[in-house]
Amino acid sequence: MSTPTNYKTADWNAYELLAETAPTSITWASRGGDGSGKSHFACTAPTPIFVAGFDPYGMQRVAREVRHGKEIRIGRYGFNCAEHGEARSAVSAAAEAIWNRFVADYRTALKYMSGNGKAHRQRGTILWDREDLAWELLRYASFGGQKNDGSKTAALDYGDLNAEYVSLIQEARAAGVNLGLLQGLTANWVAKFDPNKGKMVNYEIGTKPDGFKKLADHVDITIDHRWDAELKEYTVRFQKFPNKEQKDQEYPNVTFVDMATFAYPDTTEEEWR
């Protein structure tokens, strides 16, 4: 391994000193089925809010009183591969055009919010509705399908996609902008040996978050959402969570400000509005 020629000139004082204060923004993943309250919760986040609508009209299902009086802007990035024929090149080109438009809009929103000049800590919120559809779109743009069929290095082909995807999430952190990633659910299958059939058989054992598999590694908080039909209210359960005393606890009618002050008890509600 070669040694950098200028290593002796490095200035220790030039390195950033890790701050002891709480973060100024939060990146979270909301997971749940349709009607579980993901979008309802997201609309309680600080405004302005920019919605990257991969489910183009999903936010219109949110109760009007939650959206009322808030500056919520939306970009629509719906994609239907069936509209572009069977040729992978055509599907890829169509998906890539939509993906590139999303990335440009996303960075425009980040630039606006990070320079919004507010006196308090928050600088707005961006939502990906839904994250699993965003990940799907990127794969269509890259492969013309959900995977690179026929590739001898299929697993390696995701390296560039993973890096691009994670870097977009990190851009929100760098800008100090809240980022909410809304995920649907998909069936969770496991393979077990069936002695009666004498072979491995797939069994469905519930559900799991759909979308980018490593998303939980790159967000501050993960939340499971559900609608409690008996109590007639939305509930949340914190999974990955900075404040371990609140982890795995279920709470009703939680807002973004509630989540932020639960996560960072040394902060005030006003700091997160």
Give the pLDDT score at 150.
59
Q: Which fold has domain 22-272?
A: Rossmann fold (3.40.50)
Residues contacting 149, CB < 8 A, separation 6+: 143
**What pLDDT does 10 receive?**
73
Higher pLDDT, 216 or 7: 216
Stretch 101-128: mean pLDDT: 83
Min mean pLDDT across 15-29, 102-116, 198-212 is at 198-212
**Side-chain half-sphere CA neighbours of 31 within 13 A:** 21
The pLDDT value recorded for residue 264 is: 95
Give, for 40, the enclosing helix (H) or strand (E). Answer: helix 38-42
CA distance 246 to 56: 33
Contacts (Cβ under 8 Å, ≥6 apart) of 147: 139, 154
